[in-house]
């Protein structure tokens, strides 16, 4: 966690949080754990809610979770979190996919990070729910296509819970509404261990996607829950619900 006091101050003034508390969307699987707390998803899979953290802190969290999973402490750990504005560049990202230079982006308050996941560029922002499933696929006896399928099912369920009916495209992994991408997926696999994961756009401020070719698709339309429904649900609650929805599916499909 970057600064717990700053997180609490931000959460107290977050318009998305106020709308969530007043409107109360139905989200599956939320256990009520607060930022930095853990809840058990069953088997030996753990779900942790971290709140708003920098991308660097998210990388550290993934590394620490991966070490615990490799040591056999858990078969999987899922991190539910949000990020300050950041563009991440996957291994296949080309220079022309970034439309604004790093110096200009820094002046806009947007960090840029190269990462080891596949794919191209994507954008994270505070009103976006992010989940990093750190899973030992060997011990789970699970294939990558099966994990992607379970992830897609979980994303669609959570989106329905906040009033959005989307379609999952396995060829371009993500959830779409009338061609606009509302959620994206990008895993990295190393020695049967997954890192990185899935992001769902909640708030309507999507300007950061204009700075890139999202997931290597020029002019890809980007959507959000708030843009579709007029309401931005609590991003921490959605991230936690999504992490639990994925964890429950992974636990239930173990060895299948």
52 burial (CB, 10 Å; 0-12 / 13-18 / 19+) is: buried
CA atoms within 13 A on the CB side of 30: 19
Q: What is the CATH number of the domain that holds 11?
A: 3.30.930.10
Beta 121-124 vs 86-89: how paired, if at all? antiparallel
pLDDT in tens, the chain (256 residues): 444 333 333 333 233 333 333 344 445 554 545 555 555 555 589 999 999 999 999 999 999 999 999 999 999 999 999 999 998 887 666 666 776 777 787 778 888 877 777 667 888 999 999 999 999 999 999 999 999 999 999 999 999 999 999 999 988 889 999 999 999 998 989 999 999 999 999 999 998 888 887 765 667 799 999 999 999 999 999 999 999 999 999 998 876 6
Distances (CA, A) of 117 to 72, 163, 202: 23, 30, 23
- Domain span at 73: 4-252
Antiparallel, parallel or unpaired: β 121-124 and 180-190: unpaired
Q: Which active-site residues does the annotation give?
A: 215
**Domains: count for the chain:** 1
User: Which residue, 238, 101, 68, is CA-closest to 164?
Assistant: 238
DSSP string covering 167-211:
EE-SSS-EEEETTEEEEEEEEEEETTEEEEEEEEE-SS--GGGGG
């Amino acid at each position: 966690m970057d600064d717990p006091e700053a997180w609490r101050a931000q959460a107290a003034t977050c318009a998305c949080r106020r709308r969530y508390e007043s409107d109360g969307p139905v989200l599956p699987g939320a256990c009520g754990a607060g930022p930095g707390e853990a809840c058990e998803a069953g088997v030996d899979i753990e779900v942790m809610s971290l709140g708003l953290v920098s991308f660097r802190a998210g990388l550290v969290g993934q590394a620490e979770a991966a070490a615990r999973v490799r040591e056999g402490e858990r078969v999987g750990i899922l991190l539910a979190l949000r990020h300050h504005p950041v563009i991440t560049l996957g291994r296949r990202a080309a220079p022309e996919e970034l439309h604004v230079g790093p110096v200009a982006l820094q002046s806009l308050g947007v960090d840029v990070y190269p990462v080891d996941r596949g794919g191209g560029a994507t954008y994270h922002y505070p009103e976006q729910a992010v989940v990093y499933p750190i899973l030992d696929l060997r011990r789970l006896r699970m294939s990558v296509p099966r994990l992607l399928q379970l992830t897609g099912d979980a994303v669609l369920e959570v989106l329905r819970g906040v009033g959005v009916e989307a379609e999952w495209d396995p060829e371009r992994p993500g959830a779409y509404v009338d061609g606009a991408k509302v959620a994206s997926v990008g895993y990295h696999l190393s020695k049967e261990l997954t890192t990185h994961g899935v992001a769902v756009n909640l708030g309507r401020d999507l300007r950061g996607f204009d700075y890139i070719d999202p997931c290597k698709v020029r002019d890809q339309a980007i959507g959000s829950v708030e843009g579709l429904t007029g309401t931005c649900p609590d991003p921490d609650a959605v991230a936690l619900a999504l992490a639990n929805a994925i964890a429950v599916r992974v636990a239930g499909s173990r060895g299948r």
